[in-house]
């Protein structure tokens, strides 16, 4: 008894073929798609194989080519059952088939099957092309013809694009692969089809890919993943396709190895640049600290109080600039520093260095986390150095305790910073832009440099209001 395998995704056709061939003395097995067929022939060698052309997972032409290269099937006859014989011209001999029968009415198709089987069984000649059997029983359908053209169009596109396109069955076996993906795998399409994708990739990727594919199957995620090893790096996006003929997973794989190498090179360059900038900040800070130390030596040697005061003021200004470089060197952001933290440390340091006569001066600073760049931090640091130094020198002369208050508030596109002390205040006729002291002149100039304005008033002590454009 001859053995027959029928591969068709139409259950009605499978049932008919099983019944018809069994009645005619054949032992029949059926497969609803190419994957099932390839599994069956592992331990089943049919004498005749019927293959449908259009099926899910593996298309008929490819399945015929794979079957024909199987040495165990070298004596098997392959017959194509075509539902589109009227719409396409198929050289079935070129893909490895022995005959082609048009799908038509079952009563007519049964006669054509018997005729073809009889011819194959008794014909010892080499395979040669004959007209499609049963073509007279079918007619061309315009809609089917248009769908075939559209399908061929998309196949050309998929085969031409540079991204790797791989379609998998739900158990991760390859049922479609485009040329780009084949080029990566370095293999023949017939050897790759039906293989589990895990057998073709690095074992280090198995766990991550399996988890991702399971998440895609269960609609847990739609985000892509990266798989990398040494200099290889791939971005994988998966889409789950549901179908009455069998679900599948489509992988779109982009080779981003070169992109990653460029990014890594760029990151290395950026890191090197950041290290150099940090080193510059560090050296400037050290140089300013050296200058500050030299000034300290001069202060210690000077017996002139006026000179000593001037040197102290100069040292404080240098220290305020040095602190900006120190914070940039220690911070993660090489371009910006935290204004609130900077002012708090600056005022605290000035109180510690200038108040040595038993007085208690308490800072009350309400400045939020505001990141400002270097070009704004330096003038602001000098402004607060001058205002704090002036308050510590003159505001609390007759007081044992005092308070310096700094507040920050945003008003639309402007910022208001208020510096106040609860000391003795200043003369009512003082105008900061006309003040003769170097400190006030410096404050006024730096506020103008920042495109801002400053006003002063007495309100239980001195109050300086600085209006600036947004600092962020």
**Are 109 and 177 contained in the same domain?**
no
pTM exceeds 0.85, yes or no? no
Distance (Å, rounded) from C-alpha 243 to C-alpha 92?
28
Question: b vs e for 420-439, b when ≥16 Cβ sit within 10 Å of the residue's Cβ?
Answer: bbbbebbeeeeebeeeeeeb
Answer with the one of 231, 255, 279 that is the final residue of a domain: 255
**Are 314 and 346 contained in the same domain?**
no
Is 156 among the domain residues? no
Contact 50, 7 (CB under 8 A): yes
- Which residues are CB-neighbours of 103 under 8 A, at least 6 positions away? 13, 81, 82, 83, 85, 109, 134, 138
Distances (CA, A) of 279 to 241, 284, 320, 342: 55, 9, 19, 20
**Are 426 and 453 contained in the same domain?**
yes
Contact 47, 25 (CB under 8 A): no
Contact 240, 217 (CB under 8 A): yes
pLDDT at 436: 57
Measured from the Cβ of residue 363, the count of other Cβ atoms closer than 10 Å reads 16
Distance (Å, rounded) from C-alpha 268 to C-alpha 466?
42
Which of 173, 261, 251 lies closest to 212, judged by CA? Answer: 251
- Which residues are CB-neighbours of 199 under 8 A, at least 6 positions away? none
Is 235 among the domain residues? yes
Is 130 among the domain residues? yes
Measured from the Cβ of residue 178, the count of other Cβ atoms closer than 10 Å reads 20
Tokens of 271: 């890191």
Distance (Å, rounded) from C-alpha 213 to C-alpha 54?
26
Residue 270 has φ and ψ, to the nearest 5°, of -65, -40
pLDDT at 211: 94
Which of 330, 297, 323, 435 lies closest to 385, judged by CA? Answer: 323
Q: Roughly how many angstroms between the first and final C-alpha of the chain, as a whole number?
A: 88
Paired strand residues for 36: none
Q: What CATH code is carried by the domain that includes residue 359?
A: 3.30.565.10
Sheet holding 27-31, edge to edge: 27-31, 3-7, 48-52, 77-82, 99-102
Number of domains in the chain: 4
Which of 119, 116, 61 lies closest to 89, judged by CA? Answer: 61
pLDDT at 149: 86
Distance (Å, rounded) from C-alpha 307 to C-alpha 304?
5
**Are 82 and 8 contained in the same domain?**
yes
**Are 48 and 168 contained in the same domain?**
no
pLDDT at 329: 65
As a residue count, the chain comes to: 472
Answer with the one of 208, 237, 255 that is the final residue of a domain: 255
Question: If you search the block for the tokens 């508030």, which residue do you land on?
Answer: 409
Distances (CA, A) of 355 to 154, 352, 361, 402: 82, 6, 8, 11
Q: What CATH code is carried by the domain that includes residue 207?
A: 3.30.450.20
**Are 208 and 302 contained in the same domain?**
no
Measured from the Cβ of residue 447, the count of other Cβ atoms closer than 10 Å reads 22
Write out the H or E segment, with its range, that includes residue 227: strand 225-229
pLDDT at 271: 75
**Are 354 and 453 contained in the same domain?**
yes
Distance (Å, rounded) from C-alpha 339 to C-alpha 343?
6
pLDDT at 248: 93
Question: Which residue range forms the structural domain that includes residue 290?
Answer: 261-331
**Are 348 and 458 contained in the same domain?**
yes
**Are 211 and 308 contained in the same domain?**
no
**Are 339 and 472 contained in the same domain?**
yes
Answer with the one of 271, 297, 331 that is the final residue of a domain: 331
**Are 324 and 341 contained in the same domain?**
no
Sheet holding 232-241, edge to edge: 174-177, 164-169, 248-255, 232-241, 225-229
Is 144 among the domain residues? no
Distance (Å, rounded) from C-alpha 339 to C-alpha 341?
6
pLDDT, one tens digit for every residue, the chain (472 residues): 799 999 999 999 999 999 999 999 999 999 999 999 999 999 999 999 999 998 888 999 999 999 999 999 989 999 999 999 888 888 888 889 999 999 999 989 999 999 999 888 776 545 666 788 988 888 888 888 888 888 888 889 888 899 999 999 999 999 999 999 998 887 788 889 999 999 999 999 999 999 999 999 998 988 999 999 888 899 999 999 988 878 999 999 999 988 888 877 888 877 777 777 777 767 777 777 788 788 778 877 777 877 777 887 787 778 877 777 777 667 666 678 888 888 888 888 888 888 877 788 899 999 888 888 888 888 888 898 889 988 888 888 878 889 999 999 988 889 999 999 998 888 766 666 555 566 788 888 899 999 999 998 888 889 999 999 988 7
Tokens of 354: 């200038």
């Amino acid at each position: 008894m001859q053995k027959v395998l029928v591969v068709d995704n139409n259950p009605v056709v499978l049932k008919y073929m099983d019944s018809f061939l069994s009645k005619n003395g054949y032992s029949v097995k059926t497969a609803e798609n190419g994957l099932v067929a390839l599994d069956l022939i592992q331990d089943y060698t049919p004498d005749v194989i019927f293959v449908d052309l259009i099926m899910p997972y593996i298309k008929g032409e490819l399945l015929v080519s794979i079957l024909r290269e199987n040495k165990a099937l070298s004596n098997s006859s392959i017959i194509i059952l075509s539902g589109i014989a009227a719409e396409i011209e198929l050289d079935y001999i070129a893909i490895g088939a022995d005959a082609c029968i048009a799908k038509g009415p079952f009563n007519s198709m049964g006669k054509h099957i018997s005729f073809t089987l009889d011819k194959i069984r008794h014909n010892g000649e080499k395979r040669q092309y004959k007209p499609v059997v049963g073509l007279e029983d079918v007619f061309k359908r315009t809609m089917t013809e248009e769908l075939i053209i559209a399908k061929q169009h998309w196949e050309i596109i998929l085969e031409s694009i540079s991204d790797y396109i791989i379609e998998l069955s739900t158990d991760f076996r390859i049922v479609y692969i485009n040329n780009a993906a084949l080029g990566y795998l370095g293999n023949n399409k017939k050897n790759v089809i039906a293989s589990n994708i895990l057998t073709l990739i690095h074992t280090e990727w198995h766990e991550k890919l399996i988890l991702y594919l399971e998440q895609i199957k269960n609609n847990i995620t739609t985000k892509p993943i990266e798989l990398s090893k040494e200099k290889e790096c791939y971005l994988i996006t998966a889409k789950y396709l549901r179908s009455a003929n069998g679900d599948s997973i489509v992988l779109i794989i982009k080779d981003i190895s070169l992109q990653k190498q460029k990014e890594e090179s760029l990151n290395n360059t950026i890191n090197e640049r950041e290290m150099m900038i940090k080193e510059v900040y560090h050296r400037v800070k050290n140089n300013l600290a050296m200058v500050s130390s030299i000034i300290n030596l001069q202060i210690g040697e000077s017996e002139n109080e006026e000179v000593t005061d001037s040197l102290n003021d100069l040292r404080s200004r240098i220290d305020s600039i040095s602190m900006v470089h120190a914070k940039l060197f220690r911070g993660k952001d090489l371009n910006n520093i935290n204004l609130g933290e900077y002012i708090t440390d600056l005022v605290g340091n000035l109180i510690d260095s200038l108040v040595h006569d038993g007085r208690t001066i308490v800072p009350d600073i309400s400045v939020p986390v505001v990141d400002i760049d270097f070009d704004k931090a330096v003038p602001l640091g000098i402004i607060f150095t001058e205002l704090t130094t002036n308050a510590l020198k003159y505001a609390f002369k007759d007081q044992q305790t005092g308070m310096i208050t700094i507040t920050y508030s945003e008003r639309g596109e402007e910022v208001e910073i208020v510096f106040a002390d609860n000391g003795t205040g200043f003369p009512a006729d003082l105008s900061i832009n006309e003040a003769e002291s170097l400190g006030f002149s410096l404050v006024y100039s730096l506020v103008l440099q920042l495109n801002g304005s400053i006003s002063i008033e007495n309100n239980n002590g001195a109050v300086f209001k600085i209006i600036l454009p947004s600092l962020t």
